[in-house]
Amino acid sequence: MSTIMRTWLAFAAIGAGIIHLALVISSPLPVALALLAVGALETAWGALVLARGRIARPRAVLFSALLPVLGWAILVTLSTVFVRPDLASPLGFIPMGIASVLDLAVALALAIALRRGADPAAHGRELPAGRYLLGLLAGALLVGTLTTPALASTQAGQHAHHHGGPAFVLDDPHAGH
């Protein structure tokens, strides 16, 4: 697997992990605990791939990348069957949909590499610095473009600090006097 592809997979895993972590605060406790574990693992795995430059245990990662998607599908199905919209609605379609797309991209890329007989854990050929940086930039832009609206539509994103104004506002008891 090429260096760029490994980097993109790491970016996708980190993006999905951050989205899952942002969904923790608005979720019911059992779902929040699952999202916390999944988000932490995805983020840690992505950071590990970036740090080591290789993918360890690609089959386990392939299976793990599908778990959040399967979990969301089960939760939505249960919510529909038992007419309990409160089970799945705190997650939101946009953040879970985008996190699922990122997870499916990781799983699909690993499945293709494994199917071709390529070892995803092996180091790919080194690219010239310019091509590597362009590939790195393209991956970061793509994941950032997907992750930003997903984070904005979570409860954490809706209550986030507006970056154009002051961090806090002090009430002045003498204002207007």
Position 167 in a domain: no
Position 109 in a domain: yes
Q: What is the CA radius of gyration of the chain?
A: 19
Position 24 in a domain: yes
Q: Which domain holds residue 142?
A: 3-158
Number of domains in the chain: 1
pLDDT digits 0-9 by tens, 34-67: 999 999 999 999 999 999 988 888 899 999 999 9
Residue for token digits 């590499």?
113
- Residue 141 pLDDT level (bands cut at 50, 70, 90): very high
Position 124 in a domain: yes
Position 16 in a domain: yes
Position 99 in a domain: yes
Q: What is the pLDDT of residue 43?
A: 96
DSSP label of 55: -
Q: What is the pLDDT of residue 142?
A: 93
User: What predicted TM-score, i.e. pTM, was given to this entire model?
Assistant: 0.83
Output the six-digit token pair for 70: 């399967």
Position 163 in a domain: no
Q: What is the pLDDT of residue 170?
A: 61
How far apart CA 92 and CA 98 sit, in angstroms, is 10
* Residues 88, 75 contacting (CB under 8 angstroms): yes
Position 143 in a domain: yes
How far apart CA 95 and CA 101 sit, in angstroms, is 10
